[in-house]
Amino acid sequence: MIKNKIHILRYLFSFLISLIILLFLIFCGDVNRFIKVLSQVSVNSVIIMVIVYALSWIFRTIRLERTVASLGSKMPFKNLFKLNISGYALNVLLPVKIGDVARMLFLKAEGMEGDKAIASVIYIRLLDIISIIMLATPVLFIMTKESIPNWAIISVISCILIIVLIFVFLSIGRMQRLFDIIEAKITLKVTKGLLRVGKEVHWNLRNLLFKSSVYCDMFYSILIWLSEALTCYVVALSLNAQVSPLLIIFGVSMANISKIVPATPGGIGIYEGIIVGIFAIGGIEYNKALVIAIVDHLIKNLFIISIGIPAISTTNLKLTNLLTAR
């Protein structure tokens, strides 16, 4: 009981950190100006944002459906949408990507083998990183070198190196043989079991990434992140902010790269700070850039939570179990 309370308090503390970061960003500017700009966001523009962002979830579900089919399983589109958005909702509410673990459990509950469920979630995360980098990298060459922050360049290069290393690891055909050799020399059943799962996940990821269907999956991934950027662009248009579409794409890409390391639930606070920093390159007023970032992120998170949390109730997975999990 005490341990459960400690875990819950830890998650509440991470939310508090997010709020502190947001308040810090707001008070770094002109609070009155921030409120005035925020009041300019109309109901009609919010409706358009929701519609545009909803498109990304159609693409996300199609991509998941294709991934599941490639792994030899078949699930109803509606079920895939619910389990997908439920996992994202948990990522918004909880730290350390617990939603990704939940998606694996959801898929397993739908009849998919455990190793294939793990491989599907990793595969989709890889597609996200690759597509974000594909959208962000050209901007580095288009924009002047002096205007791009060093941390943004380092982030892009680091992601590229990580992607290359992952592909090298997965392309090694003898890796399966190495798993067998290590497994044969280990006597502990738990370790043997983990190695066996690792071997199957490696095999399934190879099959997913080195099939021709990956190009279509990548196409849907790019559509997803263009929809994310378009949502942010609609916010900017509603405030008459003269933000270049390329800068929007780059800002949203960098902000989502920051979510790879889940420092706060859903990257709240950090996401907004990065967008403001990127928009400063284009000379966008601080308070206007902050309102764009907060409204953009808020609309997306509320959309996910309002649909994802009720969807969790239709599964056998208990939210309290995830809150108290180690």
Per-residue pLDDT tens listing for the chain (326 residues): 565 566 667 777 888 888 899 999 999 999 999 999 999 999 999 999 999 999 999 999 999 999 999 998 899 999 999 999 999 998 888 776 788 888 888 888 888 998 899 999 999 999 999 999 999 988 877 776 557 788 888 888 999 998 898 888 777 766 666 666 666 666 666 666 677 777 788 888 888 988 888 999 999 999 999 999 999 999 999 999 988 899 999 999 999 998 887 778 888 899 999 999 999 888 899 999 999 999 999 999 999 999 998 988 776 555 555 544 44
Query: For residue 86, which of 324, 318, 262, 326 has the smallest C-alpha distance?
Result: 318
Q: Which two tokens stand for residue 106?
A: 């959801």
The span from the CA of 73 to the CA of 94, in Å, is 29
The span from the CA of 199 to the CA of 101, in Å, is 19
Number of residues in the chain: 326
Mention every residue, 6+ apart, whose C-beta is less than 8 A from residue 156: 133, 136, 137, 140, 257
Backbone angles phi, psi at 97, to 5 degrees: 55, 40
Say if CB 247 and CB 147 are below 8 A apart.
no
CA–chain centroid gap for 22, Å, is 20
**Cα 317–Cα 195–Cα 183 angle in degrees, nearest 5:** 150
DSSP 8-state code for residue 315 = S
